[in-house]
Amino acid sequence: MIQIKQEDYNTIVHHAKEGLPNEACGLLGGVTIDGVTYVKKVYCLKNIDASREHFSMDAKEQLTVIKDIRSNDWQLIGNFHSHPETPARPSEEDKRLAYDSKLLYGILSLMDEELPVLKVFHISEEKEVSVEEVAIVE
């Protein structure tokens, strides 16, 4: 299970809407305790591809995030990106580019901008996809 604070969920939604019509992206810092992964901080990064169909994160921004995560004794628990026009499920490209099977892959669908849908996935080395339960808490 993944636990994310309402405020952090709102940050992801806001970042995704600001990025329209392109995909938005970012990283997630947090901790895992007794099988529950807690998002401690959402890091909104620039999609340097400026594309509606894929994203790439800036290497300098990623390094800054990793330094902040380490300084807080957290872990890089995953990344997220938006799908402006498609459902919250990994595309073939998303699966192909999933480089670490230990990370979480969050996708926020804005097919209906007023009703965004966030789903979080594990993608195995064999590119098999499993959905994680997401709990949004106060």
Q: What residue spans define the domains of the chain?
A: 2-137
Q: Which two tokens stand for residue 131?
A: 């959905």
Is the CB of residue 2 less than 8 Å from the CB of residue 39? yes
pLDDT, tens only, 17-27:
999 999 999 99
Looking at domain 2-137, which of 3.40.50.720, 3.40.140.10, 3.40.1410.10, 3.40.50.300 is its CATH number?
3.40.140.10
pLDDT, tens only, 41-86:
999 999 999 999 899 999 999 999 999 999 999 999 999 999 999 9
Is the CB of residue 16 less than 8 Å from the CB of residue 86? no
**3: confidence class by pLDDT, cuts 50, 70, 90:** very high
**101: confidence class by pLDDT, cuts 50, 70, 90:** very high
- Rounded mean pLDDT, 124-128: 94
Give me the pLDDT at residue 70, please: 97
Centre a 10 Å sphere on the Cβ of residue 133 and count the other Cβ atoms it contains: 10
pLDDT, tens only, 27-38:
999 999 999 999
